């Protein structure tokens, strides 16, 4: 989409939330930039990657929690709805929040690509834009298609996206800057790609 061009929303946020709440548990819906998206159910390898990340983070940062399936209100107006594969927050941060939480206090969101045709648009383009607009400090993309880990940092809420984007090949040690403040050994990720 060209800069300055605006899309017409497919529906209101309220309509989206009604549809999402009626969807079966096997279907995950998202609403980004006025468009409905269907997130593919996690396959075993994608789930294993998130579980390994959770173990690593809980070992190195026991003061933090890694949630799976938590919905977030995203973009500058908080009209978008995303359900990242994982969300890193201070311990017990989401206690008392509903299905769609405000992103304030979120330290990092994680997405693991699926092998869908629309992964490029959603995970590599739309998600960094809305997560950056939301002010989320880090976006970690584990990209199984390109066998890379992409760390987005320095969110730019005014324009969207992130000022710093670093890409590393599977097998490299990847530093996650503050507020995550740890590093990932990505060698094991090679075992979980096609």
**128 in a structural domain:** yes
Residue 116 sits in a domain of what CATH number?
Answer: 3.90.1570.10
Q: Are strands 138-143 and 108-112 parallel, antiparallel or unpaired?
A: parallel
C-alpha–C-alpha distance, residues 66 and 189, integer Å: 19
How high is the mean pLDDT of the chain? 90
C-alpha–C-alpha distance, residues 53 and 74, integer Å: 23
**19 in a structural domain:** no
Indicate whether this model's pTM tops 0.95. no
Helix (H/G/I), strand (E/B), else coil: 179: coil
**2 in a structural domain:** no
**24 in a structural domain:** no
**125 in a structural domain:** yes
Domain that includes residue 170, residue range: 42-192
Query: How many domains would you assign to the chain?
Result: 1
**12 in a structural domain:** no
Number of Cβ within 10 Å of residue 122's Cβ equals 20
Beta-carbon contacts of 32 under 8 Å, excluding residues fewer than 6 positions away, are 74, 75, 80, 81, 82, 122, 126, 127, 130
**5 in a structural domain:** no
| 170-186 confidence digits (pLDDT tens) | 999 999 999 999 999 99
């Amino acid at each position: 989409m060209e800069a300055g061009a605006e899309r017409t929303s497919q529906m209101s946020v309220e309509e989206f939330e009604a549809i999402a709440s009626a969807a079966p548990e096997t279907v995950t819906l998202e609403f980004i930039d006025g468009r409905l998206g269907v997130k593919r159910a996690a396959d075993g390898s994608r789930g294993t990657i998130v579980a390994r990340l959770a173990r690593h983070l809980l070992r190195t940062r026991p003061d933090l929690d890694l949630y799976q399936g938590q919905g977030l209100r995203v973009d500058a107006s908080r009209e978008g709805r995303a359900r990242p594969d994982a969300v890193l927050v201070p311990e017990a941060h989401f206690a008392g929040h509903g299905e769609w939480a405000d992103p304030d206090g979120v330290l990092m969101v994680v997405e693991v690509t699926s092998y869908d045709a629309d992964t490029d648009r959603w995970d590599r383009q739309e998600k960094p834009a809305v997560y950056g607009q939301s002010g989320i400090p880090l976006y970690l993309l584990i990209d199984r298609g390109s066998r890379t880990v992409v760390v987005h940092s320095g969110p730019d809420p005014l324009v969207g996206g992130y000022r710093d984007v670093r890409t590393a090949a599977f097998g490299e040690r990847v530093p996650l800057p503050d507020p995550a403040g740890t590093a990932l050994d990505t060698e094991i990720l090679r075992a979980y790609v096609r």
